[in-house]
A = this chain, B = another copy of it.
Amino acid sequence: MRFQQLLHVRRLASAGATTLMRRPITTTTITTTSRTALAATYPAFATTVRTMAGSGAPIPELTEITDNVQRGNYATLTDKDVAHFEQLLGKNFVLTEDLEGYNICFLKRIRGNSKLVLKPGSTAEVAAIMKYCNERRLAVVPQGGNTGLVGGSVPICDEIVLSLARLNKVLSVDEVTGIAVVEAGCILENFDQRAREVGLTVPLDLGAKASCHIGGNVSTNAGGVRVVRYGNLHGSVLGVEAVLATGQVLDLMSNFKKDNTGYHMKHLFIGSEGTLGVVTKLSMLCPHSSRAVNVAFIGLNSFDDVLKTFVSAKRNLGEILSSCELIDERALNTALEQFKFLNSPISGFPFYMLIETSGSNGDHDEEKINQFIGDGMERGEIQDGTVTGDPGKVQEIWKIREMVPLGLIEKSFCFKYDISLPLRDFYNIVDVMRERCGPLATVVCGYGHLGDSNLHLNVSCEQFNDEIYKRVEPFVYEYTSKLKGSISAEHGIGFLKKDYLHYSKDPVAIGYMREMKKLLDPNSILNPYKVLN
């Protein structure tokens, strides 16, 4: 089914001529943010993104048992500890019952056995908690929105869960400099909405926006769909406040784009997955929100055409290119089967690309897009597609991309890999894996952030299956390592990949990571069993 009232481009067989219908591009600011307000509209999205509590997947066995985890040499929680925390935080913010949502990961793969969730309301309270836990040798796992995909934000054994949910304020947004200061527990979408009130936008956007916390995003160096335009968080995060395992508050905040005063230690807390400190506050550079946002959804016949189209997008769209996503046929079809409310404007191609532009002048952007689409069709690279600048339609197309990962886990178990690969080899692994898994897998597919060389390889099966697991791992890591790729482009290492870190990092580097950990968390109480094995 195709959208009506959209510019629908179609390749003409004759002489490469192209008809492009002109359409009025609205110059309204489009809240692409609101696409994650989908949760309100589509219950399936809401349940999966927020807690998975409503999904049919069974509650997993304790990870300590399934993965034969040797509990670290930590103290065991006592009633006296609980009483101490109740005095510190107030009884309302010390939870000892109904902790399932805090113990189980988003993918329902990891289940910890924590008996205590703490909800501090200030940096000082976080510091007091850490100081006490360090002295008592109680292990702690910091938790944001718990949307991670590698088991980094849930306890593995009985670690205390330190929820940042109450530290949820946007403290300031400077319209002129674009610099915002925000507490770690602020939900990404709320932060973005506040930024948009003064004409800015948060440079980070990802599917879990409605529930993930900005502090968790920073702690995992989250990537998402806008890295191609705004770069990564190491560039955007200007300052960090982190509470160390000892309870010391490390103030590395800065309200400036440029600050060359000493070692740039804040980066140790960006992407270390809560193992070096608890991020409690941060400042971020927010670009102006764009007056015009357009999305093209196009079909292509081969991965070679995908690559050519990517190069053409970089050339022709230049500074307005804000997303360049790939979805293969199987990934798209699985989503369409699972979520009947989705409408794909085109069908029947082995590859699809979602290309977004964001610019300050709608007419200019339209001209650039038309040139890009026209060139691609003339060269026979783009087969068919849709372009729209209508906010509602933009949202509908993004919805397709965002439901793709959820389609794969809706009724199946899914082995998910998140790898960076050289573009020339970007898609081969999907075919290779499909052959390795054969009929054991129900779907083997690939999608992801082509503009960042970041592939999400997915292998779905009816339920977790040891035979298929052995066919997939460690093969996928070995394959990636041979191509000098990254075994985790954006999801991180967490619990699930800690034994595979050596495929992407050499022993000297891993050795110094251990030294950093010792330096900042001498008793190793902070998020144990994660990142380093």
Contacts and interface: CB of A to CB of B under 8 A. Distances in A.
Interface of A: 175-178, 199, 220-221, 223, 227, 231-232, 234-236, 248-252, 254-265, 267-268, 270-272, 276, 285, 288, 290-291, 307, 310-311, 314-320, 358-361, 364, 367-368, 420, 422-423, 449, 452-454, 484-493, 501, 504-506, 508-510, 512-513, 515-516, 519-520, 531-532
Contact of A508 (B221, B248, B420, B512): B248
Contacts of A199: 315
A361 B364 contact: yes
Nearest to A175: B311
Nearest to A517: B263
A232 B252 contact: no
Given A257-B452, A288-B318, A508 B262 contact: no
Contacts of A251: 506, 508-509
A268 B271 contact: no
B453 A262 contact: no
16 contacts: A221-B264, A227-B258, A232-B258, A234-B234, A252-B509, A255-B484, A256-B453, A257-B420, A257-B454, A259-B420, A260-B486, A263-B531, A264-B272, A291-B318, A318-B360, A512-B520
Contacts of A317: 360
A232 to B, nearest CB: 6
A157 to B, nearest CB: 22
Contact of A319 (B178, B250, B319, B367): B319
Nearest to A483: B255
Nearest to A199: B315
B276 A263 contact: yes
Contact of A256 (B290, B291, B420): B420
A249 B506 CA distance: 10
Contacts of A270: 264
Contact of A532 (B262, B291, B318, B358): B262
A262 B510 CA distance: 8
A292 B259 CA distance: 31
Nearest to A494: B260
Select the residue from A199, A231, A423 with max chain B CB neighbours within 10 A. Answer: A231
Contacts of A250: 508-509, 512
B364 A501 contact: no
Given A318-B290, A512-B250, A488 B260 contact: yes
B176 A307 contact: yes
Given A235-B232, A264-B221, A288-B315, A249 B452 contact: no
Nearest to A359: B319
A257 B267 CA distance: 16
In the A-B complex, list the 4 residue pairs whose CB atoms are closest, starting with the nearest: A235-B235, A318-B360, A267-B267, A256-B420
Given A256-B454, A263-B276, 15 more contacts: A221-B260, A234-B267, A235-B235, A252-B509, A256-B486, A259-B489, A260-B271, A262-B272, A264-B268, A267-B267, A288-B315, A291-B318, A319-B320, A319-B358, A364-B364
Interface centre among A256, A452, A486 (most CB of B within 10 A): A256
B487 A261 contact: yes
Contacts of A249: 508
B232 A257 contact: yes
Contact of A359 (B263, B276, B318): B318
B509 A257 contact: no
Contact of A260 (B231, B310, B492): B492
A199, A320, A515: most-surrounded residue (chain B CB, <10 A): A320
Contacts of A508: 248-251
Contact of A262 (B311, B358, B423, B531): B531
A498 to B, nearest CB: 9
